[in-house]
Amino acid sequence: MALAASTPAWRHSFRPQSVSAAVILGSGFLTAEPRLVIWAAFSVAWFSGLLIVRRSHTVLSLGTSATDSLVERFGTFIIIVLGEVVLGVVAGLVPAERDGMTIAVGLLALCIGFGLWWIYFDLVGRRLPRNEPALTNWVLSHFPIALSIAAAGAAIASLIGHAHDARAPAETAWLLGGAVALGLLALVVTGQSLVDAERLLSVYRPLSMVLAIGAVAALVVGWVRPAPWLLALLLLAVLSVLWAFAVLRFLRADAWGEAPAAVD
């Protein structure tokens, strides 16, 4: 009751959901390019709003605690989004002439999806986050992770369609390289929000630095934009090196394959 009484009057009349519905509905009547710009700005605005809410310790911090069920549901969500990579490969192969080069690019692109899968579930999946405020960081970091996987799937469809080009299209190269970079940077936040980040400090501290370096490497690959097969191979190499580094750190800490730590 006290909380409701102290809430400013404008908050009772302001409904973000109504504004969101109006923006999305109105953008449907626009052409592709301005609609994409509006959707991108809308996504940034919503995510920024969530960060503001997180700072004020309101909605996201009420009645929520880290549980195995919560972790399982977010992991399931990531698995569902990873299907976008498979769909991207299929969407690229269906209209293309399926010769050796096209199939090779498709297989390499599919392996990028596997790389994202391994990195997420071996580094942060099935591991419990700490409670507030780390829990909020853990939840919010999953939004850019999901976005990066979906963007990679869209870029892969275009990459396969240009499998025979001497260089990957600039938009496709930047989208795919940027998607991988965004996912890796978001994983830094996710990893630092875990219970294991404090328990296995010798693993997660250097891992955060290496993930950031991997993000820069992915952007460089997108900027260079080599041939599609080489672009996919280089990004796969970045993900493979990161995964191998993580495995070695876990093995050195004698923590590989451990059951997720319990929350106090």
pTM: 0.80
Q: Give the mean model confidence (pLDDT) for residues 190-199.
A: 91
Residue 115, class by beta-carbon neighbours within 10 Å (0-12 exposed, 13-18 middle, 19+ buried)?
Answer: buried
Residue in the block written with tokens 């950031």: 212
Query: Per-residue pLDDT averaged across 125-142, rounded?
Result: 86
Whether 78 shows a pLDDT value over 70: the answer reads yes
CA distance 180 to 85: 12
CB 148 within 8 A of CB 182: yes
> Which among 159, 194, 177 has a CA at the least distance from the CA of 235?
177
Task: Count other C-beta atoms under 10 Å from residue 55's C-beta.
Answer: 10
CA 139, chain centre distance (Å): 12
pLDDT recorded at residue 1: 42
Q: Where are the domains of the chain?
A: 1-62, 66-252
At 80-104, the pLDDT tens digits run: 999 999 999 998 888 888 888 999 9
